[in-house]
Copies of this chain bind each other. A is one copy, B any other.
Amino acid sequence: MIKVTTVLSPDELEAALRSIGAERYHNLHPFHKMLHGGEMNLGQVQAWALNRYVYQQGIPIKDYAILSNCEDKELRNIWRQRIFDHDGLGDDIGGIERWLRLCESLGLDRDYVKSMEGVHPASKHALETYINFCRRAPLLIGFASCLTELFAPKIHKERIAGMLENYDFVDDSMVGYFRERLTQAPRDVDFALKYVKEHAVTIPQQQEVIDALYMKTGVLWAQLDALYLAYVSPGMIPPGCFVPEDHQAAAAQ
């Protein structure tokens, strides 16, 4: 892991952050590759959408937690756009609703998804860790924890193309969430990266920024790990968690 021993220039800090993404961002996870490569059945894609909903519905909570540490009105008014993007504003239904519609299009029951009863415990733990980190971290470090957005546009593009091409149960109306993120994420990250590069100027600050990104890549990675174990190999679904219909059929044969 990267240990900061001398103060990094802003560009060196950015390079360090990008190197963490190159090593640990969840686009490197086998689950991601299978999902976008068309190697999954409907039940596996359902399990992914269901578990990922936990994360989606928690994003505004995370952003409210971050802004509860922000004493600067101007900053709050910039950052709150992220809340609008997910919770909706005016005519925009928002990303959480878009994700719910994706789940419904995949054949999941809306209320079951919203109850989060069938999700893997690790999906909840990962989100809980992220929110709690932002609640307790100084503003700069809360901002820094969002910098996985540096790597997100690539994953969204792969997701849209891969899922439309490879699954006959996915159509254009279902990838609305990712299309929106293609413009939202770069805008968000431009601001967050600039802020972090300007304000993380001591060794301890830079180390905390780096550690925040390690924390966050771990949050994303652990979610796919849990999905892989439960729904790909060896197929160990924890008690009480979602069991896809085709999985039940396979077990009954």
Contacts and interface: CB of A to CB of B under 8 A. Distances in A.
A97 interface: no
Interface stretch (A45-53, A163-171, A229-237): A229-237
Contacts of A128: 125, 128-129, 132
A218 B221 CA distance: 18
Interface string A110-142: 000000010011101110110010000000000
A33 interface: no
A1 interface: yes
A24 B228 CA distance: 20
A72 interface: no
**Count of this chain's copies in the oligomeric assembly:** 2
A239 B236 CA distance: 22
A107 interface: no
Contacts of A214: 240
A125 to B, nearest CB: 4
Given A128-B128, A233-B233, A122 B240 contact: no
A240 B23 CA distance: 9
Interface in A45-85: none
Interface string A181-216: 000000000000000000000000000000000100
30 contacts: A1-B117, A1-B240, A23-B239, A23-B240, A24-B238, A28-B239, A121-B126, A121-B221, A122-B122, A122-B222, A124-B218, A125-B125, A125-B126, A125-B129, A125-B219, A128-B128, A128-B129, A129-B129, A132-B132, A218-B238, A221-B239, A222-B226, A225-B226, A225-B229, A225-B230, A225-B236, A226-B226, A228-B234, A228-B236, A233-B234
